[in-house]
Structure 1
Amino acid sequence: MDGSSNHISDPNKAHIILIPFMAQGHMIPMVDVAHLLASSGAVVTFITTPVNAARIRPIIDRIENSHLPVRFIQIPFPSADAGLPAGCENVDLISSPDLFKPFIEALSLFGEQVKHYLTTTNPTDVPADCIIFDSMNYWVGAVAESLDIPHIIFYGPSCFYILSTHLLKKHQVLKSIDDDYELFKVPELPEPVEVMKAQVMRWMDRPGWEKVSEEYYKTEKSACGVVMNTFEELEMSGLDKFRKEIGKKVWPIGPLSLANKDMDSKAMRGKASSIDTRLLLSWLDSKAPNSVMFVSFGSLSRNPISQLVQIGQGLESASSSQSSFLWVVKEADKSEEVENWLSEFEERTKGRGMVIRGWAPQAMILGHVAVGGFMTHCGWNSTLEAIAAGVVMATWPRFGDQFMNERLVVDVLRIGVAVGAKVPIFFVDKMSEEAMVKGEEVRKVVEKVMAGGEEGEERRKRARELGEKARKALEKGGSSFENLKRIIQFAEGENKHLERGLIKPLSLFL
């Protein structure tokens, strides 16, 4: 995929290379970063792999047709060299827990191919001014330093989560806790919350990951600055604390989902929808404002049929007059048993509910006036999309940053109600009995989120106010709008004030 054109070869514009991590929840916001930077005056090269490019093809086509200065480059992923099945180029294509480590280790081999590309092919006739890379791409630091290209780390999760992990590591908290399910407070966190070791333990800090972990933290330390998918008004105290902790520039530029202004862009965010959007909008238009509970658990989480049945029972038995639901079931194509149960469930709930099998246009759905609640796994993309839309959440975290995001939504922002999940479940593992949530708990949280009353109305009011602040952040003069300009100015500073290939001292930017 070449995408070359004159406007992509402008030597007077900052040239920024973007390197996303190969997971759908990481690819989506990085595409939005490309769109926003190019719209703000930069030239962008977006590096990915053939399989991942194919998955976001509608978005690529839309950006290329808009004539924004974004070039998408496909570099082969070394699946075979890492002992992975052909085409295993994205985390959600990993079929077994045994393949996760080979996939992560393959990233460094991919890094060698990226370095070869950058040194033998001139992407835009203009050398790179800086690289913005997903934090999971631990190999970028060594490659960027060997090429004398400044590199900026992109954190996909909330600042609340990133700051928490930083503070836990700083104080070596987890080493002193033996019980994985003992509640403790994160030290120095501006808004103290209680969590469990099992909920915040990162895979890179577990035994056997020492080499990757060492590279990850080395790259984290060497980065010139930090870009985040959040906004100042949402996490002000956390951002202030994080800036002091790391001593570097931190540029929040979110919510990135708001880069998609029109209905078609919202519908395409992520992958092609599994449902006709006209049919979906017609169904939503038939529902009263704030009457639909939207249920979706992201691109990685999978529910066994036993859990799907419990969710279905909870949705079906919710007695609130506002109990319509829109449920995304990715598991439908995996099992004849699931499909048979779903068909019976749909027949029983006809009129009240709609089931989408596969990928749903989430940003578009959340922005519809009929949606009054969102049952979510608390992935940060989904959480921030709900915040931007002013929608209250029912929180059901599974792994990674999701439990900390739940604490932010429920305890700090107070715009969510917890389903009650305590036991983490990694996306490639089978769900244990302890991790299951019963239908009765699902029913209770649906009724609580969708009900009125003083408590419910206060929650909705807070959500609406945050949604308004989110929209203003990306408007001209808003905090995220201004931070986008500062990132480009940083890159232009590399271009104007130094000979190519030299890095400006960090002290000038801190």
Structure 2
Amino acid sequence: MVIVDSTEIPQLHVVFLPFMGHGHMIPMVDMTKLFATSGVKTTIVTTPLNVPFVWTTIERSKNSGIDIDIKVLKWPCVEAGLPEGCENLESIPTSHGVKWDMIRNFFTVIDLFQQPFEQLMQQCKPDCIVVDLFFVWATDTAHKFGIPRLMFNGSGFLSLCISDSINLYQPHKRVESDSEPFVIPNLPGDIKLTKDQMPDMLKQSEENFFTEIVKRWRESELKSYGFIVNSFYELEATYVDHYRNVVGMKAWHIGPVSLCNKMIEDKADRGKKSSIDRHKCLNWLDSKQPHSVVYICFGSVVDFSAAQLKEIALAIETTGQNFIWVVREENKEEDWLPEGFEKIMEGKGLIIRGWAPQVLILEHEATGAFVTHCGWNSTLEGVSAGLPMVTWPMFAEQFYNEKLVTEVLKIGIGVGVRKCVEVVGDFVKRDAIEKAVKEIMVGEKAEEMRSRAKALGETAKGAVENGGSSFRDLNALIRELSSKRH
């Protein structure tokens, strides 16, 4: 007679807390799905006005039998001096630039969010929390509840390595001018930057609110259990190894997380509701030859001036290429377009005002290149689609990502941006835009880059399949977390 132990082992429970900005929320929702499809009980925490951005994806997942829960907590924005309803980075009022006082208040709300989050942890009793790096208090919260805290900051390994080296060696303090290149110390690949290309937060010499935030990030990072990274080993193997073995941080690569979305509906519903009917968009692409369309999009935060938008329009027209161009909703006034532009470009170009189904567009056979701000999500989505890129970084770690695309992977061409300018970007003239677009689309060099990019895209897909590098890392992480439960 065989005696079967009927005591059921409780399911591993992981809680996810994304930062309230679309560039941070979208990959963490994908990450939540990845864990859930691997048999983990998952809970995602957000605020009332951010629910619509995650609800459709979570409901569809739940209906297909994937165990995802959602918990909604009040975002105390008014208590921190923000307008009612200011619950997302995009909802902070700006006018072609950053309002730093509002950003500061947003970070104050983040600190106030600790108490309600800990009350929720008391009820949920998870085995682990995955929390965006902006919630610096989460490491102490994890220690309080005796569970691991994994950090997520939405960037890749090269970026993590560069940030660590700059923090440790501060090479930017030894150059004579903001435009003088310096080599990132103790980092493979002879990567060079200028002080102009560094985020403002990292190069301020006087102590202030934002330098204090950077200091707190670093302290929280060093005390955390480790990093969870939206990347795959083959993309930046040298820097995965460097981060783990030289920097000495525990880290797991589980990406590209966008590839967890297999159905058209899942790909179309990531983030905000699309401003264009996806069928109209796909039908337009179906009418074009393979690799003949340039996709132009600068993410959810970039806020170009009318003059810069007009410069882009004139450059696109001169290239003669088919294009899809995504422009933020704020630029509704038409004076940013040259007179008669849309009529002249009818049939050749499609302008999407607002939010686009980006992954669907990138994956379409007609799309031949991607003009991007080098945000990590967009960069990785471009890589996954096997596309060469025109790089146009603006702020944060985007110049680091440009180095990966153009110098390490050699699948991109820069427009020549030299300066990190928060949100509005450094002004780029039409000639430079036109030159880069033509170079990425036509000629022998374009074919070589397209070939490399296509191969990399296949490798990205293989990484998340059964037995792939990211598949193995995710499963190793789940096993490790399971072994640490009380």
- Relative to 1, partners in 2 of residues 1:166 and 1:26: Cα closer, same or farther, differing over 3 Å? same
Q: How far did residue 288 of structure 1 move?
A: 0.2
Q: 1:61 aligns with which of 56, 59, 62?
A: 59
Cα distance in 2 between the residues matched to 1:255 and 1:181: 34
Partner deviation per Cα, 1:275-319 (whole Å, 9 max, x = no partner): 011111110000000000000000001111101100000000114
Q: In the alignment, what sits opposite 1:162? A: 160
2:233 is paired with a residue whose SS is: coil
Cα distance in 1 between the residues matched to 2:228 and 2:432: 37
Q: In the alignment, what sits opposite 2:333? A: 336
- Relative to 1, partners in 2 of residues 1:211 and 1:194: Cα closer, same or farther, differing over 3 Å? closer
Pairs within 5 Å for 1:353-368: 353-368=349-364
Pairs within 5 Å for 1:192-271: 192-201=190-199, 203=201, 206=204, 207-208=207-208, 209-271=210-272
Q: Does residue 411 in structure 1 map to residue 407 in structure 2?
A: yes
Pairs within 5 Å for 1:267-306: 267-306=268-307
Q: Does residue 117 in structure 1 map to residue 117 in structure 2?
A: no
Structure 2: any 5+ residue segments left out of the alignment? 1-7
Q: How far did residue 337 of structure 1 move?
A: 3.9
Whether the aligned pair in 1 keeps the contact of 2:261 and 2:267 (CA below 8 Å) is yes
Q: Does residue 95 in structure 1 map to residue 96 in structure 2?
A: no
Amino acid corresponding to residue 372 of structure 1 in structure 2: G
Q: How far did residue 11 of structure 1 move?
A: 5.7
1:226 is paired with a residue whose SS is: strand
Whether the aligned pair in 2 keeps the contact of 1:205 and 1:213 (CA below 8 Å) is no
- The alignment covers a number of residue pairs equal to 471
192-201 or 290-299: bigger deviation:
192-201
Cα distance in 1 between the residues matched to 2:339 and 2:41: 49
CA RMSD of aligned residues (A): 1.7
Q: 2:380 aligns with which of 380, 384, 398?
A: 384
Cα distance in 1 between the residues matched to 2:334 and 2:278: 27
Cα distance in 1 between the residues matched to 2:202 and 2:119: 27
Q: In the alignment, what sits opposite 1:476? A: 466
Whether the aligned pair in 2 keeps the contact of 1:105 and 1:212 (CA below 8 Å) is no
Q: 1:466 aligns with which of 444, 456, 459?
A: 456
Q: How far did residue 270 of structure 1 move?
A: 1.9
Q: How far did residue 205 of structure 1 move?
A: 6.3
Q: In the alignment, what sits opposite 1:43? A: 41
Cα distance in 2 between the residues matched to 1:338 and 1:493: 60
Q: TM-score, normalised by structure 1?
A: 0.89
Cα distance in 2 between the residues matched to 1:49 and 1:245: 38
Cα distance in 2 between the residues matched to 1:246 and 1:224: 14
Q: In the alignment, what sits opposite 1:449? A: 440
Cα distance in 1 between the residues matched to 2:296 and 2:474: 32
- Relative to 1, partners in 2 of residues 1:489 and 1:247: Cα closer, same or farther, differing over 3 Å? same
Partner deviation per Cα, 1:11-47 (whole Å, 9 max, x = no partner): 6211111111111001000001000000011111111
Cα distance in 2 between the residues matched to 1:210 and 1:164: 17
Amino acid corresponding to residue 476 of structure 2 in structure 1: R
Cα distance in 2 between the residues matched to 1:342 and 1:71: 48
1:233 is paired with a residue whose SS is: helix
Amino acid corresponding to residue 105 of structure 2 in structure 1: P
Amino acid corresponding to residue 482 of structure 1 in structure 2: R
2:484 is paired with a residue whose SS is: helix
- Relative to 1, partners in 2 of residues 1:204 and 1:146: Cα closer, same or farther, differing over 3 Å? farther
Q: How far did residue 58 of structure 1 move?
A: 2.2
Partner deviation per Cα, 1:360-412 (whole Å, 9 max, x = no partner): 01011000000001000000000000100100000000100101101110011
Q: How far did residue 204 of structure 1 move?
A: 6.0
1:56 is paired with a residue whose SS is: helix
Whether the aligned pair in 1 keeps the contact of 2:299 and 2:375 (CA below 8 Å) is yes
Q: In the alignment, what sits opposite 2:315? A: 314
Q: In the alignment, what sits opposite 2:173? A: 175
Q: In the alignment, what sits opposite 1:349? A: 345
Cα distance in 2 between the residues matched to 1:181 and 1:56: 42
Q: 1:436 aligns with which of 420, 423, 427?
A: 427
Q: How far did residue 246 of structure 1 move?
A: 3.7
Whether the aligned pair in 2 keeps the contact of 1:16 and 1:491 (CA below 8 Å) is no
Identity %: 38
- Relative to 1, partners in 2 of residues 1:284 and 1:343: Cα closer, same or farther, differing over 3 Å? farther
- Relative to 1, partners in 2 of residues 1:334 and 1:443: Cα closer, same or farther, differing over 3 Å? closer
Q: TM-score, normalised by structure 2?
A: 0.93
Cα distance in 1 between the residues matched to 2:371 and 2:438: 12
2:340 is paired with a residue whose SS is: helix
Cα distance in 2 between the residues matched to 1:235 and 1:164: 13
Cα distance in 2 between the residues matched to 1:280 and 1:407: 31
Q: How far did residue 202 of structure 1 move?
A: 5.1
Cα distance in 1 between the residues matched to 2:116 and 2:56: 26
Q: In the alignment, what sits opposite 1:132? A: 130
1:46 is paired with a residue whose SS is: strand
Partner deviation per Cα, 1:162-195 (whole Å, 9 max, x = no partner): 1001011111223333522221111122112221
Cα distance in 1 between the residues matched to 2:151 and 2:44: 15
Whether the aligned pair in 1 keeps the contact of 2:368 and 2:441 (CA below 8 Å) is yes
Whether the aligned pair in 1 keeps the contact of 2:228 and 2:253 (CA below 8 Å) is yes
Whether the aligned pair in 1 keeps the contact of 2:53 and 2:270 (CA below 8 Å) is no
Structure 1: any 5+ residue segments left out of the alignment? 1-9, 500-510
Whether the aligned pair in 2 keeps the contact of 1:199 and 1:400 (CA below 8 Å) is no
Whether the aligned pair in 2 keeps the contact of 1:328 and 1:360 (CA below 8 Å) is yes
Cα distance in 1 between the residues matched to 2:214 and 2:459: 36
- Relative to 1, partners in 2 of residues 1:270 and 1:178: Cα closer, same or farther, differing over 3 Å? farther
Cα distance in 2 between the residues matched to 1:384 and 1:21: 19
